[in-house]
A = this chain, B = another copy of it.
C-alpha cells in the first residue's frame, strides 16, 4: 500500500519544521486514535516561512496554521509554545525560541534564562502551548499548561528547549529527565494536542 495511513484516513498538516514537534504530535495523535495521518512540512518544501509577528501564542499559532492551510489546501495544525517565567512577567513566552537573539539556539536561550534569574529565588514558571487548527472556515485554539519551577542547573538529555531546567510541580526530575511518554502524558504540548484531537473530526 502506498498510503501508510490506510484508505479513508484524513490528512492533516502540522505547520512546523521542528522535527521534535512532529514526532511528539504524531505519538499523541496515534495514542488518541484520531484516524488522522499527519503530514509534516518536509512534504511541502515550498511552503512559505511564516513570520511570527504576533504578540501572543494564539496570534502566532493561528498565523502559522492559516498560512499553511491556505498553501496546502489541507487542514493545518500549528502550535506556539514557550516558557513563561513568573519573575520575568511571563517571558520568554512567545520569544522562547529566540530569547538569546539567536533563533533556535537552545543552549544559549537556556543559559540566558539561568543568568537572568541567577539572583532570583522565586523560580515559578509554566510551559504553555497554544495549538491552533484551521480547517476550511473553522479556526480553533486550545491551550495546555504545565506548571513547575526552574532548576539552577540543567539536568537530563531528553526533550529540547528549556526541558533541562524545568521541573514540573510534583516532580523531582526535569522534563529532560523524563522518558518521552512520561513527558507527553503531562506536557503543555501533550495537553494542548490531546484537547485538539477531538476537533480533528471532519467539520
A interface residues (Cβ-Cβ under 8 A, vs B) = 51-53, 55, 87-91, 93, 95, 98-102, 111-112, 114-116, 118-122
How many subunits of this chain does the assembly comprise? 2
Cα A88 to Cα B118 in complex, Å, equals 19
A53 to chain B: which residues have CB within 8 Å? 119-121
Q: Which residue of B lies closest to A93 (CB)?
A: B89
In contact, A112 and B100 (Cβ under 8 angstroms)? yes
Cα A111 to Cα B100 in complex, Å, equals 10
In contact, A98 and B120 (Cβ under 8 angstroms)? no
Cα A87 to Cα B119 in complex, Å, equals 24
Known contacts A51-B119, A120-B55, A121-B53: A95-B88 contact under CB 8 Å: yes
Q: What is the distance, in angstroms, from A179's C-beta to the closest C-beta of chain B?
A: 31
Q: What is the distance, in angstroms, from A25's C-beta to the closest C-beta of chain B?
A: 24
Cα A112 to Cα B51 in complex, Å, equals 19
A99 to chain B: which residues have CB within 8 Å? 116
A121 to chain B: which residues have CB within 8 Å? 53
Known contacts A53-B121, A101-B112: A88-B87 contact under CB 8 Å: no
A101 to chain B: which residues have CB within 8 Å? 111-112, 114-116, 118
A sample of 10 cross-chain residue pairs with beta-carbon separation below 8 angstroms, ordered by A number, consists of A51-B119, A52-B119, A55-B122, A89-B90, A91-B91, A98-B116, A100-B112, A101-B111, A101-B115, A102-B115
Q: What is the distance, in angstroms, from A123's C-beta to the closest C-beta of chain B?
A: 12
In contact, B120 and A87 (Cβ under 8 angstroms)? no
A120 to chain B: which residues have CB within 8 Å? 53, 55
Cα A119 to Cα B102 in complex, Å, equals 12
Cα A87 to Cα B116 in complex, Å, equals 18
Q: What is the distance, in angstroms, from A65's C-beta to the closest C-beta of chain B?
A: 18
A91 to chain B: which residues have CB within 8 Å? 88-89, 91
